[in-house]
Amino acid sequence: MAEVVTRESSQVGVQSYVEWGAVIAGTVAALAVSIVLLAFGAAIGLASVSPWTTTATGIKAVGVGSAFWFLLVTLWSFALGGYLAGRLRHRWIGATATEVRFRDSTHGLLVWALTVLIAAILAASGVSALGRGVAAAAGSATGASDQVTATTDLMFRSTNTSSLPQTADARGEVSRLLLRSAAKGELSDADRTYLAQLIAARTGISQTDAEKRVTDSLDQLKAATDRARKIGVVLAFLAASILLIGGAIAWWAAGVGGRHRETGEIWHGFAEVKRY
């Protein structure tokens, strides 16, 4: 009796609770599948969008389709990675069935966590195309500068053909005023009056029309900035929700992989499960 207890204690002490080989294998598979599917989805998205015929409805459709495809990619990749982690893990001797299921599912959760960390590092370094797409949709610094430039061009639009050409210094000054107002959240009365005077002098319109142009342009800029902020918030919540769903899928798939490991079954997908 004492000899049997000694053998089991030695075995449990040598075997680690976490088998990183299975976790890394599942992570590699999840990343590979997600990269291939995201590239495939990007190709379809680019093929379905034209810069000459894009409408607001088309942009919304592409956005909804991209979110749905991102969800499918997350489900498929984490299901495969979690399943492999649970299936490739060694059997445990002396552990209860509940403990075995928990350890298998934990390995799937580790696959999810490691994959998310690697994807976050790639996105932060600018390698991930998904990270660049979310940043562009949320409104990057380049996008804000483009919006300011467009607003400046609108302010200096003139119907007076005899007006002098606009100088780079004047446009640069207006751009800096707009950037400063965007950082503060408002434009001071002095800056607003100065902009109206400058626009009136450069375009040949009246002071009243110039003030109205400044007000309308600033309202458009504020609306565009606020819209970009709201889109960024929605995308952030959407991405977090999808990733949490991916964690649950990895947890479940690892449990399925562990169960198939114990019973000697091969998973051929959701349609059928065959025995050796």
pLDDT tens per residue across all 276 residues of the chain: 444 443 343 344 445 788 889 999 999 999 999 989 888 887 777 666 665 555 555 667 777 778 888 889 999 999 999 999 999 888 777 778 888 889 899 999 999 999 999 888 877 776 445 444 544 544 444 555 556 665 665 566 555 544 444 556 667 777 777 777 776 767 777 778 878 877 777 777 888 888 888 888 888 888 888 888 888 888 888 888 988 999 999 999 999 998 888 887 776 654 444 554
| Best CA proximity match to 113, nearest among 11, 190, 31 | 31
79 phi, psi to nearest 5 deg: -65, -45
What is residue 68's three-state secondary structure? helix
121 phi, psi to nearest 5 deg: -65, -45
Q: Which residues pair with 273 in a beta bridge?
A: 267
What's this model's pTM, rounded to 2 decimal places? 0.64
